[in-house]
Amino acid sequence: MTIHKGRGFACINYPIGMNLGGDPSQALVHATPDGKFMVSLASIDLGQGMKSVTRQIAAETLGVPVEDVYVDTADSDTGPHCMGSFASRGTHRVGNAVIRAATEARKQLLDAAAEELEVNPADLETDGKGNIHVRGAPSRRISVANTAIAAQFKQGRTLSGRGIFLVPPSGVDPDTGEMTPVTCFAHAAVIVDLEVDDETGEVDVVEINSAYEVGRALNPKLVEQQLIGGAWMGVSHALYETTEPYYPARDHGPVDFNLYLMPGPAQTVPHHIAVLERPAEDAPFGGKGPGEMCANPVLPAIANAVYNAVGVRCDTLPITPEKILRGIRANGGARPQGTR
Amino acid sequence: MAKKPVRFTHNGRETAIFAESGSNLLDVLRRVVGDLSPKYGCGQGTCGTCIVLIDGEPHLSCLTLAETVEGRKVDTTGGLQNGPDLHPLQKAFMEGFSAQCGYCTPGMLMAAKALLDRNPRPTREEVVEAISGNLCRCTGYDPIVDAILDAAGQTSGRVA
Amino acid sequence: MSSIEFRKDLFADERSDNLNEIGKPTIRQDILGHVTGRTPFYDDHLFDGLLHMRCVRSPHHHARIRSIDFSAAGRMPGVVRIVEVKDVPHNLNTLLSLLNFGRDDEPLIAPQKVAYIGEPVLAIIAETERQARDAVAAVRVSWEVLPHVLDVEEALKPNAPSVNDIYPNNTFDYGPYDHQKLRFGDVERAFQQADHIVEGEYQMSPIEQAPMETCGAIAAPETNDRYVCHTSTQALFFSLSTTAKLMNMASSRLHFIGGTVGGGFGGKVDSIVEPMAVLGAVLTGRPVKFMWDREEEMQVGAPRGAERWRIKDGLTRDGRIIARSFTGFFDAGAYIRLSSYAVQKGTGHLPGPYSIPNVAANVFMVFTNRTPATAMRGFGITGVDFAIECHMDKGAEAVGMNPIDFHILNAYRDGDMKAHRRAAKNAALIECCQVTAGKAGWRIAPDHAQASSLIGGGAGERATIPETVTDQIGRIGERRRENLPTAPYAGSTARGRVAAGAAKQAVVAAPPQHEDMAVDLARFGFSKPQARATRQPHSAVPPASPSSPRPQQPAPPAPQSSSPVPPPAPPQTPASAPRAPQAAEQGQGYRPEEPFQQGIKRPGVSRFISGTRRR
């Protein structure tokens, strides 16, 4: 007959990229006649923002405004090989490939501009607004557009780049398990506050406080999208989702969304996020990928909070009202573990 | 199978097609009319990605017989824009980063439009109820609710 | 509602935030398409004469196919082609054969037996989806039902039904063993020295990726004797190469176009729908769509595989984890798909982001008669992290410590040796713990509030690879002949030793192939921090002792001599060699154009006091 409050903690790290490596991605960059840039990828955007983040990466590397760059993805005829969008590898692998390709294209761009301005290319810099000028002498300049026109129609130079990024495959020792899993890890810590009704066993998650370390937030809004959406998925996984409610028996498996439960818009949880950035040395601008690890710590934090609330250890997922009530009954009643 | 003529207004345009008897509106809109904006998510009426407006009311087009829209007005996301100008909902979703994969977005927009057309100043609870028939797997819903409130001119509580 | 803050102050000396486009909240390139309904998903392409393909599927967990009678189905209206086993040019594959990992074990259409409910035994192509469904329902299959196994540990017993003909032991092969081992140090000895032993068992059931768009593909003859395939895949070339292999077709004849994917979450890597659609297009010469409806997406489409984990920790009285042992079971279902790889990914993750001097694990990939599992967000990690973090909570309770203090005490720091024999770097677990504790108002011990990932690691025993005890229990096939225990070292007393310090080189990224692609790091937001010797933790008072457990415990006696409890490192101890002071100019600090916040600011909370200030 009581609502018990509980608070739980969990922290994790997460490997960035396909485990053991061996998952290359390639990128091609080329300039249009008037100095816009196209990035060709076979990489896939599944909502995580692949096109958007690679666009920003290319623009930054080239030294041009993002409006002058477009990313084309997912055509096997025009995009060079990419292993795919999974394992939080997109930003790291594809981003790095784009950086290498854009770097090569930038080198051609500065060589072409240097020829027009009759200076050494090492003396040139881009202003990020569509111009190239001599360092320290901004009036000695040429636009990216005019550079592209000169390069292609006068000099006979392409402003193109190609890039591949590969972490070569690591083996695994069968006796010790030695391996190089990945080259960098993201981090997260989460505190969940929830309430448990000891009569119905229902759990109401009330608030989440978290810190996620992502190397660098290449686009803060894309990072926010992942962290908010991912934590929602974590709550859903912890409390509701299963394709086999009586695992390992396969009975009563859901076949539609009436039976496969996920929290709806009336059940969203206020989530207060802090983003930390410790750049990884081999990641694009240091950025790791938040896409997968955003859900993971929420699950055990919820389990630990339920224990704090009513003294029941729910060691199996999903944590259903039935499991909580059985635990309370086995304990002879709810056993709150103390306020934190 | 018999084909029946169905005349209706589609995004403001008079349209006439032949639909297989028993076919659903989602299939007909996508395959016969060529409007690919409503989506198939489940075919079971539980996810809302197929929501279109029929005479201004949200309907699950996957469970609506195509022949029942005879003489009625059907509106989809493909018709939300006013010429080149985005509908305030579209603008709010865009600026609010309220879509990731974008698959639930057409259905969400239509459910939201139906709400705002009849209730221009909804409360947060009313917005939540209006989209309760729409599932989203990516965003966690709050960015969508915030965008709908923004479009309605209400503060969503968003700072700056 | 929710809020987000960017703690730019933390690790600020390792970044320069003076970038032009990176770090900006640029509007997504694709969102205009999303809000106008114009973003092309795989199905958003119109084809004249599109055909629909659906499968006849097994209703049994495990059964031999005696016969299939599709004569009635073949005569039904709209049916264009029946697709049988003999129509599949190369009917055996495993996804990771593309990486030479694992033997081909899964048919596209089951030829002799089915090993899970839903496995396809025939496909039918018809003019409409309705006609295809009706024809499928009219097919009569005669089955010989076989015994099945659904529990991973039952499947490991000698008399268990054999699920997968190519891997008849119900396990995958990891070198000479039927499981993946992790051995680091000597857990058996450390358990004897521990003050507390904490054991737990954790189970995660399968879950669905449940994207709003189900898996599907449309394939059609294109020009130049090629086939175009519009697909929902997350991995374009994985799907293309798998299709080329199953169709015995040159990859150059396939043109794969990925849509924006309507949610992937790992469930759209398996590359089943593309070969089916292309097969249909090849056989009919027309566009063919193959997709899962929602029911198939839930019960036939591969879920996140179930995992079962047992963890045993040995703790000292003052809260250090000195030994951690795992037994893990990945339930792969009837075929390998990606589970073989998940086991190694999970093993590489052990024992979690902590510095633990003795670690052991036996991790099994087990075949059972259920829907094959595949990747899902957090693949290989989600289940074991659930287990580890629930277990950490139990450990904290056993020693009477605040869980956050318990985590920070054991957290890994730069330079610490991990159980897979690579040194940690770029760590930030401690800072995440501190910031979260601050946000939630959960007090932690003062010395933990001042701890740093950069300080206290990488020295002494924390940085070395200990002599490691090994065993050879569980070679391939042994478990089918006799009951064998599954925990590390259990089942035999024979032991081997691997010398201390034994490790290969860490793998690093391949360098750019051409000097023109080599990057100038100064333009890429990296900055070298000042030499470690000059850095101080933000409090002037150096930590005097490891944080004390909660008062209700008696005062801890001196730690056992053999447990590797390093003294708290003085601030000067570097995690790595001191780096040269920053030579190039720092540049302007990052100034966001507007605060990145959603929802109402939490009243009374200034953004400067959340978390722990580093300086």
Q: What is the pLDDT of residue C421?
A: 96
Contacting residues of B for A221, CB less than 8 Å apart:
97
B103 shares a domain with B75: no
The Cα-based distances of A73 to A102, A263, A300, C18, C234 in angstroms read 16, 33, 37, 29, 12
What integer pLDDT is reported at residue C530 of this predicted model? Answer: 54
Q: Is residue B30 part of a domain?
A: yes
Neighboring chain B residues of C27 at a CB cutoff of 8 Å: 94-95, 97
Q: What is the CATH number of the domain that holds B19?
A: 3.10.20.30
Interface contact flag, A47 B138, Cβ < 8 Å: yes
Q: Any chain A CB within 8 A of the CB of B100?
A: yes
Does residue B141 have a pLDDT over 60? yes
* A86-145 pLDDT tens trace: 988 999 999 999 999 999 999 999 999 999 999 999 999 999 999 999 999 989 999 999
- Cβ-Cβ contacts under 8 Å, A221 against chain C: 25-26, 596
- Which residues make up the CATH 3.30.365.10 domain(s) of chain A? 3-16+184-330, 25-165
- A232-242 average pLDDT score: 97
pLDDT over 90 for what percent of chain A?
95
Q: Residue by residue, what is the 3-state secondary structure of C167-194?
A: CCCCECCECCECCEEEEECCHHHHHHHC
CA distance C81 to chain A (A): 28
Q: What is the pLDDT of residue C1?
A: 84
Q: Please tell me whether residues B13 and B71 are part of one structural domain.
A: yes
DSSP classification of residue C530: P
Q: pLDDT tens digit string along C341-380?
A: 999 999 999 999 999 999 999 999 999 999 999 999 999 9
Does position C259 have pLDDT exceeding 90, yes or no?
Answer: no
Query: Per-residue pLDDT tens for B85-107?
Result: 999 999 999 999 999 999 999 99
Inter-CA distances, C147 with C113, C115, C332, C367, Å: 12, 10, 18, 14
Tell me if B102 is assigned to some domain.
yes
Could you tell me if residue B158 is inside a domain? no
B34, B94, B103 ranked by CB distance to C263: nearest: B103
Residues of C within 8 A of B137 (CB-CB) are: 210-212, 263, 265
**What are the pLDDT digits (tens) for C571-612?**
333 333 333 333 333 333 333 443 333 333 334 433 333 333
**pTM exceeds 0.95 for this model:** no
> Confidence band (pLDDT; 50, 70, 90) for C238?
very high
- Domain assignment of residue B73, yes or no: yes
B44/A257 CB distance under 8 A: yes
Nearest to A287 by CA among C328, C23, B103: C23
How many other C-beta atoms lie within 10 A of the C-beta of residue C514? 14
In this structure, is residue B57 part of a structural domain?
yes
* Amino acid, single-letter form, for residue B34: G
Residues B94 and B72 in one domain: no
Q: Quick: pLDDT tens for C120-152.
A: 999 999 999 999 999 999 999 999 999 999 999
Q: How many domains does chain B have?
A: 2
Instruction: Show which subunits contact B, needing at least 3 CB pairs below 8 angstroms.
Output: A, C
Contact yes or no for B102 and A47 at CB 8 A = yes
pLDDT recorded at residue C527 = 83
pLDDT in the model for residue C526: 87
Residue C545, pLDDT above cutoff 50: no
Alpha-carbon gap: B118 to the closest alpha carbon of chain C (Å): 21
SS (H, E, C) C342-387: HHHHHHHHCCCCECCCCEEEEEEEEECCCCCCECCCCCCCHHHHHH
Q: Which residue among C174, C256, C345 places its CB closest to the CB of A76?
A: C256
pLDDT, tens digit, 9 for 90 and up, residues C272-286: 999 999 999 999 999
Is B123 within a domain? yes
Interface mutation vs chain B, best among A52, A268, A294, most B CBs within 10 Å: A268
Provide the percentage of residues in chain A whose pLDDT is more than 70. Answer: 100
- pLDDT confidence of B160, banded at 50, 70, 90? very low
- B residues 68-127 closer than 8 Å to C (CB): 76-78, 80-81, 86, 89-91, 93-95, 97, 99, 101-106, 109
pLDDT tens track for A282-292: 999 999 988 88
Q: CA–CA separation, C452 vs C613, rounded Å?
A: 11
Q: What pLDDT sits at residue C8?
A: 96
pLDDT digits (tens, 9 = 90+) for C21-48: 999 999 999 999 999 999 999 999 999 9
Q: Distance (Å) from the C-alpha of residue C566 to the closest C-alpha of chain A?
A: 23
The CATH number of the domain where B106 resides is what?
Answer: 1.10.150.120
CB-based burial of residue B15 (10 Å sphere; 0-12 exposed, 13-18 middle, 19+ buried)? middle
Residue A154 has pLDDT above 60, yes or no: yes
Report the residue of chain A nearest C1, measured CA to CA.
Answer: A270
Q: Which residue out of B26, B27, B36, B53 would a mutagenesis test of the C interface target, given it has the greatest number of C Cβ atoms within 10 Å?
A: B36
Helix A298-310 with A220-239: angle, nearest 10 deg? 50
CATH architecture type of domain A3-16+184-330: 2-Layer Sandwich (3.30)
Within a 10 A sphere around the Cβ of C86, how many other Cβ atoms? Answer: 9
Query: Which CATH code for domain A25-165?
Result: 3.30.365.10
User: What is the gyration radius of the CA atoms in chain A, in angstroms?
Assistant: 26
Per residue in C75-101, pLDDT (tens digit) is: 999 999 999 999 999 999 999 998 899
Of C175, C260, C299, the CB nearest to A243: C299
Rounded mean pLDDT of C248-252? 97
The reply to whether C21 touches chain A by the CB within 8 Å rule is yes
Give the gap in angstroms from C-alpha A153 to the nearest C-alpha of chain C: 23
Domain of B126?
88-151
Chains near A with 3+ CB pairs less than 8 A apart are B, C
Say if residue B93 is in the same domain as residue B141. Answer: yes
Where does a domain end: B58, B79, B100?
Answer: B79
**What pLDDT is recorded for position C529?**
65
pLDDT at position C258: 95
Please provide the average confidence, as pLDDT, over all residues in chain C.
88
Tell me whether B18 touches chain C (CB under 8 Å). Answer: no
pLDDT over 80 (residue C613): no
- C532 vs B118: which has the higher pLDDT: B118
Instruction: Please measure the distance between the N-terminal and C-terminal CA atoms of chain B and give it in whole angstroms.
Output: 58
Q: Tell me what the mean pLDDT of segment A185-208 comes to.
A: 98
User: In the predicted model, is pLDDT for residue C256 greater than 70?
Assistant: yes
Nearest CA in chain A to C525: A285
